[in-house]
Amino acid sequence: RVETTPNHPEAGRESLKTIEVFLKYLDSTRVSLDICVFAITDDRITRRILDAHQHRRVRVRIVTDDEQSKSQGADVAELKAAGVPLVMDRSASDHMHHKFAVLDGKVLMNGSFNWTKHASEANCENVMITNDGQFVEEFS
């Protein structure tokens, strides 16, 4: 289930859906995009990551879970094949379960939100987006 974001500066006539705001932030990267997420299966997100890496020449780095990278619909192999530097945990029993990204060293996106289509369309998830330097530094 996608919630709306009525207080976003670009909301205007209608509230932007949370996923739209999330994607706009990914589109805004110009220098670096450091991603640490449990799973990536939402093709809209993957397209934004690939666009940043291939067309805007953003330095993209991803840390993700090895078991989730093998799940149905996982986009990790596509990202790796495109040359995106990718590191996975190496534990069958423990999971890399973080869900955050640091954009251009200045913006933090963090929360329960898995980067999956199901999470953006059905789950009750949260994402905090902040440019507060103290938060950004803790995740950098």
Query: How far does the chain reach from its first CA to its final CA, in angstroms?
Result: 30
Residue 128, helix vs strand vs coil = strand
Distance CA 18, CA 90 (A): 32
Clarify whether 17 is annotated catalytic: no
Choice among 51, 66, 89, 104 that is catalytic: 104
Choice among 34, 42, 75, 99 that is catalytic: 99
Distance CA 42, CA 20 (A): 13
Clarify whether 99 is annotated catalytic: yes
Q: Which amino acid is at 91?
A: S
Q: Which amino acid is at 32?
A: S
Place of tokens 């790796």: 80
- In sign, the C-alpha dihedral spanning 117, 97, 136, 85 is negative
Choice among 27, 94, 97, 132 that is catalytic: 97
Clarify whether 104 is annotated catalytic: yes
Report the catalytic residues: 97, 99, 104
